[in-house]
Structure 1
Amino acid sequence: MNMLDRRDIGIFIVDDNDISRSMLRHILNSEAFNVIGEASSGVAALDWLEKTIPEIVCLDVMMPDISGLEILEHIKKVSPDTVVLMVTGSNSKETVVKAIKAGANGFIVKPFNPATLLQSINYSVTKSHKQLRTLIDRRKAWKQTGLL
């Protein structure tokens, strides 16, 4: 099975904290991942997700308008194969259980440790290789047909 090229994996970052978004983007870009978009609110994220379905979403749990858990449920309804990593400053057991039941693929704990963040992303890419390949192929086909 051929390996996925990191540049083909579209990653979308959703976090209301500008510094967190910037750090995530910087760490991912430094490792040749393709950050295809960002949103600073749940409303903006849902609006963006209506137009494009990324392969991976780094999704903040706590946001002022729409919770990350609600956005997670929406993503999984629209695209069950999209890998969603919940970004959280809290390790509340209740939140973790809710997120896993809603389909979260993993967690990234703030403050970010670049090595741990990349380990989580790489683990998710390896574990979800087949689904990601399908999503990448779908996005490329949509681009070719003008749907994106």
Structure 2
Amino acid sequence: MPVSKAHASWNGDIPTGSGQFNAGNNITGGVTYKSRFEDGPGSNPEQLIAAAHASCYSMALASALAKAGFTATSIETDASVTLRPVDGVPTIIKIELVTKGDVPGVDADQFREFAEGAKAGCPVSRALAAVPEITLEATLA
């Protein structure tokens, strides 16, 4: 399996400086204090974590369904990452996953079961196991 790589740099102090990052062939962005901690324009690492989690989770769910003989027409997943101070230190305290699947032949209970299994088995979910709360809302289209 390939090794995934990214690069980041930061210039200046934290309140007025800025950073840049790139990953893969076409993921680039800039980050500032305001984009990370004050909802200002730009990107932040938590958005990248959300994107990684949503995409990994969607693939894990599609894979679990396929192994059981079901082909998903589509799986759409949104991820929200909440960053808050804990003991004065910025900490990811919650990730919310909301997924909707169009899966012929699967009923709502089966889908939720597959969805929970994918949440537990997704490599990014496992990497983020230290996050105190990871929730999942799973529905069929």
TM-score, normalization by structure 2: 0.23
Q: Name the structure where helix makes up a greater proportion of residues.
A: 1
TM-score by length of 1: 0.23
Structure with the largest fraction of strand: 2
Which structure has more relative contact order (CA 8 Å, sep 6+)? It is 1
